[in-house]
Amino acid sequence: MELAAGSFSEEQFREACTELQQPALAGADWQLLVETSGISIYRLLDQQTRLYEYKVFGVLEDCSPALLADVYMDLNYRKQWDQYVKELYEQECNGETVVYWEVKYPFPMSNRDYVYLRQRRDLDVEGRKIHVILAQSTSVPQLGERSGVIRVKQYKQSLAIESDGKKGSKVFMYYFDNPGGQIPSWLINWAAKNGVPNFLKDMARACQNYLKKT
């Protein structure tokens, strides 16, 4: 498998592009969880962890693909519009750029934090311009676990964005993480049904403000 810079393979980028065009939901027990505001969320039970993987498909109107990718990659700006961010920054570790991200959890649960690699590539696929961002958890000695915060050691996300043919963006997102600890099932279900659509809406709103900022 050919490795792209940043520890992600060419195949991983291509898979995200393919899924944007043709959702891969057959052959596995993907269940439609919710449809809201042009966003469809599917889930699949991971037999090993007994947690769900998620796939999200939809359109964000009035937000161009390049702008959406820029906003997603801008960590400093995300701290302004994402209310769940406690801490978020990049750090050079062992020759790679690593992201540290602490997420606020509701009382009395402990916050979660992530250490992960990410990479963006802007691809031309048969004349279609597709922005792909991949992220995956990693471990580096410079960013050890913190007292009172639970480290998420299994995290994987892919995001593919292209034009919807108008002024907006067609989006595919894959997401899996294992938050650890004892989290009530109602909270996990709420996060999937409401958290993801709300995050996308917040990001679309952030795109409009980003234009004003720049």
Write out pLDDT tens, residues 136-179. Answer: 999 999 999 999 999 999 999 999 999 999 999 999 999 998 88
Q: What is the mean pLDDT of the chain?
A: 88
131 within a domain of the structure (yes/no) = yes
Q: How many domains does the chain have?
A: 1
The whole-angstrom separation of Cα 70 and Cα 89 is 16
Tell me the whole-structure pTM to 2 decimals: 0.90
60 within a domain of the structure (yes/no) = yes
Instruction: Write the CATH number for 115.
Output: 3.30.530.20
11 within a domain of the structure (yes/no) = no
| DSSP string of 140-209, one letter each residue | -TTS---TT-EE--EEEEEEEEEE-SSSSEEEEEEEEEE--S---HHHHHHIIIIIHHHHHHHHHHHHHH
126 has pLDDT over 50: yes
3 within a domain of the structure (yes/no) = no
10 within a domain of the structure (yes/no) = no
175 within a domain of the structure (yes/no) = yes
Range of the domain at 91: 27-188+196-211
Per-residue pLDDT of 51-67, as tens digits, reads 889 999 999 988 999 99
202 within a domain of the structure (yes/no) = yes
